[in-house]
C-alpha cells in the first residue's frame, strides 16, 4: 500500500511529473512530507494541497468494516477460525484451538517438545476439515535442522491410525508439507516476503517457523552497541509481514522461541544452548555477572519485550518433573491463564488429563517476564520430593 505509485492515486499527469522531479513517486514519499514542503513542491495553495492529501490518503487508507460484518463473516465458516490442536482441554480453554489470522508463539527450554508440537500441528493442518484439520498444505521454515520426516510419519501413524491406514495417505500428507531450511536472518526475511505467492499457489493453510530465536541470536549479540535496535527492527519487520500474511489469508502462524536468563536488574543474558544435553546452569550465570551482590536470576522467554508485544498468543512449555512437562497459556486474547500437564510419546504430545492437577488456573504475570522451569530445577525438585504446585517458581540459588 505504501509503495503505491502516485499515478495510481488519481493525481493528474503533470502533477506526477512535477513531483517526480523531486523524487516523490510513491504515496509514502508524498505523505511523509509536511504541508509546507508539499506546497513548495506542488506549487499549489494550502487548500488545494489539503485536497491532494485527501486524494492520496484515499488511495492508501484501509477499507472500513463494521464489527458486525466481521462477526458475520466469521460465523459463515466457523470451522476455519481455529486449528484444533487435538489436545482437548487446551482447545476448550482456547475456544477452539490455535487462532487463525494471528501469531502464536511457543517458548521453552531445550528438549521440552516445541519441535514435536510443530510436527504434530503440521500433520493436523493437512487433515480434512471433518477431522478438525484445515485440509491444506504447510510451510515449515526450519532454522535448526530439527525437522525429522520419520518422526512426522511416526506421529501421524500413531495419532490417527484409522485415517492413515495406507501408505498412500501418508505420502500425500508428507507431500503437502513444504520444508525450507534457512540459516540466516536475511534469508528468513526473504523467504517470508516470498511466501505470499506460494500461499496462493500451493493452498497453504499453516506457516511454522522453528525457530525464530536461534537464527536471531546467532547474528545479533545484544551486548554489542546498536545490535539491540537492529534486532528489534528485524523482529518487528518479520512480525508485521507474518501478521499481514496471517490476516490476509486467515491462516495460523506458529513460531518458536528460546529462553534467556533475566537477572533481577533486568539485563538479559542469552542462555547457553549448545545442545539439548546442556541445560542452563544458573549458578554459573549469576557468578559471571561480576557484581558483588547476589542477584536472583530467572529464566524467561527470549527476544525481549517488543517481541512479546508482537505475538498474539504465547504458550510456555516447561519441565515439571522427570517425565511430565507443563504447557502454560501465558498470553492469549481469549483464554485465561491456564496450565496443563503432558508427556511426549510416540503419538506426539499427550495431555495427562487424569491427574487432578491438570487444568489449574494459575495467577499468571507479564508474559515477557513469566519464569520458566528448566530441566535441572525440575530434577532437583523431583529428587528432593518437593511437590511443585505453582508453576513459575523462581529457582532459589
Q: Residues in contact with another protein, total (CB under 8 A)?
A: 63
Instruction: State the minimum distance, in angstroms, from the CB of residue 213 to another protein.
Output: 16
Q: Is 381 one of the binding residues for another protein (CB under 8 A)?
A: no
User: What is the spatial distance between Cα 357 and Cα 35, in angstroms, rounded to a whole number?
Assistant: 63
Q: What track of x and - describes contact with another protein for positions 72 through 101 (by CB under 8 A)? A: --x--------------------x---x-x
Q: What track of x and - describes contact with another protein for positions 241 through 280 (by CB under 8 A)? A: --xx-xx-----------------xxx-------------
Q: What are the distances in angstroms from CA 67 to CA 73, 287, 314?
A: 10, 54, 25
Is residue 179 classed as helix, strand or coil in its secondary structure?
A: strand
Contacts of 369 (CB under 8 A, 6+ apart): 262, 298, 300
Q: Is 7 one of the binding residues for another protein (CB under 8 A)?
A: no
User: What is the spatial distance between Cα 208 and Cα 144, in angstroms, rounded to a whole number?
Assistant: 13
User: What is the spatial distance between Cα 278 and Cα 280, in angstroms, rounded to a whole number?
Assistant: 7
Q: Among residues 172 and 237, whose Cβ is nearest to another protein?
A: 237
Binds another protein by CB under 8 A, chosen from 36, 58, 131, 397: 58
Q: Is 66 one of the binding residues for another protein (CB under 8 A)?
A: yes
Helix 227-249 and helix 185-193, axial crossing angle in degrees, nearest 10: 20
Q: Is 354 one of the binding residues for another protein (CB under 8 A)?
A: no
Q: Tell me which residues in 304-343 interact with another protein (CB under 8 A).
A: 304-306, 308-310, 312, 314, 330-331, 333-334, 336
**Closest to 297 (Cα-Cα) out of 371, 223, 224:** 371
Binds another protein by CB under 8 A, chosen from 291, 356, 385, 387: 291
Binds another protein by CB under 8 A, chosen from 369, 379, 382, 393: 369
User: What is the spatial distance between Cα 303 and Cα 307, in angstroms, rounded to a whole number?
Assistant: 6
Contacts of 180 (CB under 8 A, 6+ apart): 139, 140, 141, 142, 191
| Interface with another protein (CB under 8 A) | 1-2, 27-28, 31-32, 34, 53-54, 56-68, 70-71, 74, 95, 99, 101-102, 228, 232-233, 236-237, 240, 243-244, 246-247, 265-267, 291, 304-306, 308-310, 312, 314, 330-331, 333-334, 336, 363-369
Amino acid at each position: 500500500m505504501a509503495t503505491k505509485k502516485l499515478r495510481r492515486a488519481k493525481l493528474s499527469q503533470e502533477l506526477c511529473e512535477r513531483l517526480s522531479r523531486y523524487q516523490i513517486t510513491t504515496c509514502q514519499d508524498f505523505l511523509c512530507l509536511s504541508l509546507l514542503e508539499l506546497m513548495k513542491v506542488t506549487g499549489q495553495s494550502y487548500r488545494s494541497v489539503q485536497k491532494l492529501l485527501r486524494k492520496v490518503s484515499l488511495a492508501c487508507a484501509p477499507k472500513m468494516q463494521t464489527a458486525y460484518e466481521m462477526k458475520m463473516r466469521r460465523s459463515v465458516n466457523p470451522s476455519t477460525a481455529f486449528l484444533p490442536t487435538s489436545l482437548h482441554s487446551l482447545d476448550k480453554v482456547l475456544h477452539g484451538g490455535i487462532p487463525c489470522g494471528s501469531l502464536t508463539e511457543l517458548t521453552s527450554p531445550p528438549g521440552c517438545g516445541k519441535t514435536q508440537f510443530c510436527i504434530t500441528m503440521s500433520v493436523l493442518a493437512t487433515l480434512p476439515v471433518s477431522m478438525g484439520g484445515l485440509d491444506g498444505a504447510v510451510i515449515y521454515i526450519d532454522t535448526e535442522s530439527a525437522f525429522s520426516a520419520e518422526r512426522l510419519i511416526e506421529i501421524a501413524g500413531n495419532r490417527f491410525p484409522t485415517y492413515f491406514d495406507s501408505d498412500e495417505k501418508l505420502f500425500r500428507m508428507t507431500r503437502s508439507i513444504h520444508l525450507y531450511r534457512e540459516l540466516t536472518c536475511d534469508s528468513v526475511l526473504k523467504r517470508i516476503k516470498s511466501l505470499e505467492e506460494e500461499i496462493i499457489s500451493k493452498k497453504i493453510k499453516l506457516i511454522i517457523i522453528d525457530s525464530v530465536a536461534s537464527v536471531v541470536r546467532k547474528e545479533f549479540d545484544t551486548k554489542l552497541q546498536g545490535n539491540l535496535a537492529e534486532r528489534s527492527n528485524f523482529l518487528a519487520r518479520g512480525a508485521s509481514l507474518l501478521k499481514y500474511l496471517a490476516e490476509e489469508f486467515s491462516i495460523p502462524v506458529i513460531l518458536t522461541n528460546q529462553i534467556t536468563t533475566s537477572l533481577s536488574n533486568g539485563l538479559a543474558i542469552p542462555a547457553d544452548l549448545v545442545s539439548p544435553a546442556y541445560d542452563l546452569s544458573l549458578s554459573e550465570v549469576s557468578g559471571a555477572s561480576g557484581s558483588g551482590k547476589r542477584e536472583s536470576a530467572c529464566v524467561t522467554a527470549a527476544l525481549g519485550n517488543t517481541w512479546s508485544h508482537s505475538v498474539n498468543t504465547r504458550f510456555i512449555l516447561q519441565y515439571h518433573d522427570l517425565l511430565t512437562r507443563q504447557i502454560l497459556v501465558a498470553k492469549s486474547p481469549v483464554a485465561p491463564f491456564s496450565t496443563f500437564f503432558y508427556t511426549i510419546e510416540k503419538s506426539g504430545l499427550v495431555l495427562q488429563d487424569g491427574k487432578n492437577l491438570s487444568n489449574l488456573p494459575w495467577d499468571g504475570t507479564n508474559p515477557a517476564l513469566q519464569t520458566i522451569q528448566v530441566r535441572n530445577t525440575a530434577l532437583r525438585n523431583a529428587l528432593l520430593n518437593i511437590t511443585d504446585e505453582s508453576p513459575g517458581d523462581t529457582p532459589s540459588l
